[in-house]
Structure 1
Amino acid sequence: MKRNNSDIVIFERIKSGNSDALTALFNKYYQQICRFTFLFIPENKIVEELTANVFINLWETRKKITIHSSVKAYLYQAAKNQAISFLRKNKNMLTPLDDFLDLPDRRDQTPEAIYIEGELNLEFTKAYKKLPNRAQLAFKLHRLDGLKYSEVAEIMNISIGAVEKNITSALKILHSELHSYTKAN
């Protein structure tokens, strides 16, 4: 909750015209919003431009904006809207199904541990790609990006129950696909 409250404080500063607060919010969420937008559009330059537009629009319309759930959920919804608008204008773009995991610092790992981690990430990516699109998105937003079910529901325009169903489905499929990697040897 502390993080959410700090976002509200930052947003209130943005509403009052503090550009440093906008920079702080940008620095905090830019990478996450880029990864999310990349789900819809597999082109880095376009993703970066659309993500920047989210923050530009936030600044330009700051006095009119009302946050209903959280600042983070608002940014994700705005990014989704930017991506959908872009895709409507450019119908030939495809949606990628890439792995969005951040890899840890590897300096202290043995070559064997790095190899095993790479194999597991590869298998996870394969399993993740087998998920239905809605289950992928719900899983990513909740488990990888840390959004609450209510925030995921708002972004995806579905009920909280549907979010739970999609995440449960994703977990069952992932568990089934990765079962051989989770068994004790």
Structure 2
Amino acid sequence: MVESNAGKIQDDMFMVRLIRAGDQQAFEYLFKTYFVPLCRFVRIYVKDNGVAEELALDVFTSVWEKRENLDIKLTLKSYLFQAARNRAMNYLRDNDRFVAVSDWSLLERFEIDDSLELKELERLIAEAVCSLPDRCREIFLKSRTEHLSNKEIAERLDVSVKNVEAQITKALKLIKAYLGDSYTYFW
């Protein structure tokens, strides 16, 4: 699972770096890719096309204005949809509006499904693994995805078993730090 998401995570990380650097074409691509889906998503909450468009635009405006400090822990898509949801909830709160009970089934697809949280966690772990130093990542993946023993990894890479153990320990510490306090129950 980690390797299947690696390409998408690396693409997202590259896109974030471009946007942080002020690359307007990267931002335009992001906007063209996600503006309409975000409007549809926000519309589920606010029931007004104009408001949905305004809130989606606010998300992109915020991303551009805060681009230099952009800290995305999940995928860009997840970040944008969570930001849109937060804007929609704030709008509903500030305007004394509520989501009708009849609409809960639509919202459940986005909020209640535990598999979504699991998928996001998998993406976050994949992103953390992608951010590891090359040798550390290589050893970690051989251990975790190829299920090789430390001795087998050492033999294949012509390094000591102690080196393999140290790299795996380093990888786990870096992944733990990357995940932050949200997932301390794993450690």
Q: TM tier, shorter chain?
A: 0.5 to 0.7
Letter in 1 for 2:119: K
Question: Deviating runs (4+, > 6 A) in structure 1?
Answer: 139-143
How many residues get paired? Answer: 119
SS of 1:24's partner is helix
Pick from 119, 140, 148 the counterpart of residue 148 of structure 1: 119
Give the TM-score normalised by the residue count of structure 1.
Answer: 0.53
Report the identity percentage.
Answer: 30
User: Is residue 35–residue 56 contact of structure 2 (8 Å, CA) maintained in 1?
Assistant: yes
SS of 2:46's partner is coil
Residues 31 and 61 (structure 1), Cα distance of their counterparts in 2 relative to 1, 3 Å cut: same
Give the TM-score normalised by the residue count of structure 2.
Answer: 0.53
User: Is residue 142–residue 148 contact of structure 1 (8 Å, CA) maintained in 2?
Assistant: yes
User: Is residue 69–residue 151 contact of structure 1 (8 Å, CA) maintained in 2?
Assistant: no
Pick from 110, 116, 137 the counterpart of residue 110 of structure 2: 137
User: Is residue 59–residue 84 contact of structure 2 (8 Å, CA) maintained in 1?
Assistant: yes
Q: Give ranges in structure 2 of 5+ residues lacking alignment.
A: 124-181
Larger radius of gyration: 2
Pick from 33, 38, 53 the counterpart of residue 33 of structure 1: 38
Task: Quote the RMSD (CA, aligned, Å).
Answer: 3.2
How far residue 85 of structure 1 moved from its aligned partner, in angstroms, is 1.3
Residues 148 and 4 (structure 1), Cα distance of their counterparts in 2 relative to 1, 3 Å cut: same
Pick from 85, 104, 113 the counterpart of residue 80 of structure 1: 85
| Residue 18 of structure 2 is aligned to residue 45 of structure 1 | no
Residues 81 and 31 (structure 1), Cα distance of their counterparts in 2 relative to 1, 3 Å cut: same
- Compare the two structures and name the one with the higher helix fraction: 2
Q: Give ranges in structure 1 of 5+ residues lacking alignment.
A: 99-128, 153-158, 161-185
Summarize deviations over 1:85-129 as a string: whole Å, max 9, x none.
11111113545867xxxxxxxxxxxxxxxxxxxxxxxxxxxxxx7
How far residue 22 of structure 1 moved from its aligned partner, in angstroms, is 0.7
